[in-house]
């Protein structure tokens, strides 16, 4: 039977701490949850079903279709077991898709470099295909064709087809990343955590490259995030049912709305950031649905209706440097060889604001956000959210939090703080 129709386990990975939201998404697509860990959810389905996951899941990173699981005790045995899988039925040996990338996670005392595992697995696959077909696919680190992922822990090996290829977070709209942008999958999970679905206003001061506002627009429109991408790992597996993929996309398009019931507003003090956010929104096809403005957060226009205000303020230089290093490492692994990753400081002004003792230090910014929330509270019933990796700064907001949710932005432990903004929001700041 072709694997396209064969039911197997499917492991869907996600940013750390986001699995609760991913689990809800998988369930609402009608699939069972077999297991949930901090960075992944296990379900089951056919290889065809992975197309649906890649198209619709907002909080996922990779959709891994389980091919085989077995026990081995040495790299030689690993080669033999991998070599016995009928790869010639899965991987192309000629044409544009005749290319394979192997990734792995090895937690085994015999292995101190996962590149060794990648090489062994790649040799086993390529040798098998050459023996059966007398041609062989090319191989390398690019994830834009077929990708095989191997998980090896002690004597247990699981072999997957990585049906996503590049991370699903790389939706394709963020052409201009700035300092400390949120990953798209994380931004989607944060919005889900607020309970916002699009029927009330969404106000996002300090929007940076616009990730939160763009993800909010996609959620409110019911627009499938995979719609923006035209390449996935599954497209390079033999007998890829292209017609069926087109049908899935068409159904998703028919389901998606063209207008928003409520406003989405995104502002930032840095005009370069606003420009980048607008251009990213244009690539995502939602620029006409978001109101952009260059202004300090306190001057963000608040509609008369009700809704949520969500800010992701600067974390400060030390944490931002940590975030940049983490992302550089990740993107070095993720991006195609030779591609340059643009990492630009949002602006000299932003840099200055992060410095202690600078005209507007971090304490002042967080305190200002609290004051801003109080002033909004006087205008009606709003909920305010701060997403931050600087846990020290939270006390400066000076308002009682209703909820504190744990997230991670890369390596940085973060909180999403919820504030109920009534005219009488409890003031706890010690004067
Ligand atoms: C951590 S970044 C936001 C990143 C954003 N979530 C993204 O995904 O790109 C913080 C942003 O706050 C902005 N900012 C700093 N001080 C500000 C102020 N006083 N008023 C408005 N924006 C400010 C910076 O320009 C920067 O774009």
Q: Which atom of ligand 1 is nearest to the CA of 360?
A: 19
The structure tokens listed for 113 are 């470099």
Largest CA distance in the chain: 79
Check residue 339 and give its pLDDT: 36
B/e letters for 256-278, b = 16+ CB within 10 Å, e = fewer, are eeeebebbbbbbbbbebbbebbb
The residue whose C-alpha atom lies closest to atom 1 belonging to ligand 1 is 314
Give domain 184-221+257-421's CATH superfamily.
Answer: Vaccinia Virus protein VP39 (3.40.50.150)
Cα(231) to centroid(ligand 1), Å:
31
Given its phi and psi angles, is residue 210 left (phi above 0), alpha (psi -120 to 50 degrees) or beta? Answer: left
Helix axes 184-194, 19-28, angle to 10 degrees: 80
Q: What is the pLDDT of residue 338?
A: 33
Least Cα distance to 416 among 64, 5, 18 occurs for 18
pLDDT in tens, the chain (431 residues): 678 999 999 999 999 999 999 999 999 999 999 999 999 999 999 999 999 999 999 999 999 999 999 999 999 999 999 999 999 999 999 999 999 999 999 988 888 888 899 999 999 999 999 999 999 999 999 999 999 999 999 999 999 999 999 999 999 998 876 766 899 999 999 999 999 999 999 999 999 999 999 999 999 999 999 999 999 999 999 999 999 999 999 999 999 999 999 999 999 999 999 999 999 999 999 999 999 999 999 999 999 889 999 999 998 866 666 666 666 665 554 433 333 333 344 443 444 444 433 435 899 999 999 999 999 876 667 999 999 999 999 999 999 999 999 999 988 999 999 999 876 555 544 43
- Whole-model pTM above 0.85? yes
CA distance 100 to 71: 24
- The whole-number pLDDT of residue 351 equals 42
Which of 22, 368, 46 minimizes the C-alpha distance to 239? 46
Q: Which of 305, 310, 139, 128 is nearest to 215 (CA)?
A: 310
268 in contact with ligand 1, CB cutoff 6 A: yes
Return the residue whose CA atom lies nearest to atom 18 of ligand 1: 296
The closest-lying atom of ligand 1 relative to the alpha carbon of residue 315 is 1
**Do the beta carbons of residue 79 and residue 94 sit within 8 Å?**
no
Pick the CATH number of 3-162 from 3.30.2130.30, 1.10.40.30, 3.30.1330.10, 2.60.40.290: 3.30.2130.30
Pairing of strands 138-139, 99-107: parallel
The closest alpha carbon to 322, from 209, 210, 213, 414, belongs to 414
Q: Where in the chain is the domain with CATH 3.30.2130.30?
A: 3-162
Residues of the chain with CATH 3.40.50.150: 184-221+257-421
């Amino acid at each position: 039977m072709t694997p396209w129709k064969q039911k197997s386990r499917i492991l869907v990975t996600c940013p750390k701490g986001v699995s609760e939201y991913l689990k809800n998404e998988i369930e609402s697509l009608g699939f069972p949850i077999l297991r949930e860990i901090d960075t992944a959810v296990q379900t089951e389905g056919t290889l065809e079903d992975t197309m649906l996951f890649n198209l619709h899941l907002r909080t996922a990173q990779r959709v891994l279709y389980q091919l085989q699981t077995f026990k081995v005790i040495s790299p030689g045995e690993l080669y033999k077991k991998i070599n016995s899988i009928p790869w010639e039925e899965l991987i192309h040996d000629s044409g544009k898709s005749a290319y394979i990338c192997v990734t792995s996670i090895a937690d085994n005392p015999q292995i101190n470099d996962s590149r060794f595992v990648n090489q062994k697995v790649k040799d086993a696959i390529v040798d098998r295909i050459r023996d059966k077909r007398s041609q062989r696919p090319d191989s390398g680190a690019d994830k834009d064709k077929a990708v095989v992922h191997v998980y090896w822990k002690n004597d247990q090996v699981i072999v997957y087809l990585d049906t996503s290829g590049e991370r699903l977070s790389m939706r394709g709209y963020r052409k201009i990343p700035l300092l400390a942008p949120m990953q798209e999958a994380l931004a989607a999970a944060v919005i889900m955590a607020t309970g916002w679905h699009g029927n009330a206003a969404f106000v996002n001061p300090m929007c940076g490259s616009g990730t939160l506002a763009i993800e909010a627009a996609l959620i409110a429109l019911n627009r499938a995030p995979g719609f923006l991408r035209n390449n996935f790992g599954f497209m390079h597996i033999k007998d890829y049912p292209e017609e069926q993929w087109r049908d899935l996309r068409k159904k998703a398009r028919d389901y998606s709305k063209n207008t928003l019931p409520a406003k989405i507003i995104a502002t930032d003090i840095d005009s370069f950031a606003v420009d980048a956010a607008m251009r990213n929104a244009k690539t995502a096809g939602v620029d006409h649905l978001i109101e952009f403005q260059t202004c300090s957060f306190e001057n963000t226009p608040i509609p008369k209706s009700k809704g949520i205000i969500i800010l992701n303020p600067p974390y400060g230089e030390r944490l931002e440097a940590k975030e940049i290093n983490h992302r550089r490492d990740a993107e070095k692994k993720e991006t195609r060889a030779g591609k340059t990753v643009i990492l630009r400081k949002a602006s000299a002004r932003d840099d200055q604001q992060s410095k202690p003792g600078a005209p507007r230090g971090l304490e002042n910014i967080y305190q200002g956000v609290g004051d801003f929330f109080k002033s909004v509270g006087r205008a009606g019933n709003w909920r305010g959210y701060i997403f931050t990796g600087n846990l020290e700064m939270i006390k400066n907001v000076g308002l009682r939090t209703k909820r504190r949710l744990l997230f991670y932005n890369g390596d940085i432990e973060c909180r999403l703080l919820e504030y109920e903004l009534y005219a009488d929001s409890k003031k706890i700041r010690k004067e």
